[in-house]
């Protein structure tokens, strides 16, 4: 089992467990690219989540969900060119997250590949900070055990 450290530019550090049994290919891709830093923005259509468009990561569909994704989930939206959907990484920070796009049912499944282990209240505060103050760099690195 691997864990990643997630560190927000303006404060906030979390540890997330990678769900390697449920999303082995996605986790392997994430692990092979660590460490990395991307700019995360408030999601426009998916509710309580921040999102980035990684230019150098892509994965296959696995362990996909559209609803019932708990706060603190790490999710990967797989590129879907016919619908003009790019690769995206989400961090859900509250209970109101539904992956959406321009499909008939307005839902686009995401690969759930990790879960922040604790500190969901602080994560909610950081999510609201990004809503009010704008995008932040978020660094991901491997937790050495």
**pLDDT score of 87:** 85
pLDDT value for 35: 98
Which range marks the domain in which residue 28 is found? 3-142
pLDDT of 92 reads 96
Parts of the chain with a pLDDT under 50: none
For residue 35, cis peptide bond before it (omega within 30 degrees of 0): yes
Q: Looking at residue 45, which CATH number applies to its domain?
A: 2.40.100.20
What lies within 8 Å, CB to CB, of 144 at 6+ separation is: none
């Amino acid at each position: 089992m691997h864990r990643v450290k997630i560190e927000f530019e303006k404060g906030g550090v979390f540890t997330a467990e990678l769900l390697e049994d449920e999303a082995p290919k996605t986790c392997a891709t994430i692990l092979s690219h660590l460490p990395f830093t991307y700019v995360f923005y408030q999601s426009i259509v998916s509710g309580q989540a921040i999102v980035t468009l990684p230019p150098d990561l892509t994965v296959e569909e696995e362990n996909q969900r559209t609803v019932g994704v708990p706060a603190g989930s790490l999710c990967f939206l797989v590129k879907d060119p016919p619908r003009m959907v790019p690769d995206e990484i989400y961090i859900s920070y509250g209970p109101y997250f539904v992956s959406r796009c321009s499909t008939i049912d307005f839902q686009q499944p995401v690969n759930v590949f990790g879960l922040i282990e604790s500190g969901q209240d602080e994560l909610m505060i950081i999510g609201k900070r990004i809503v009010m103050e704008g995008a932040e760099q978020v660094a991901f690195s491997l937790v050495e055990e």
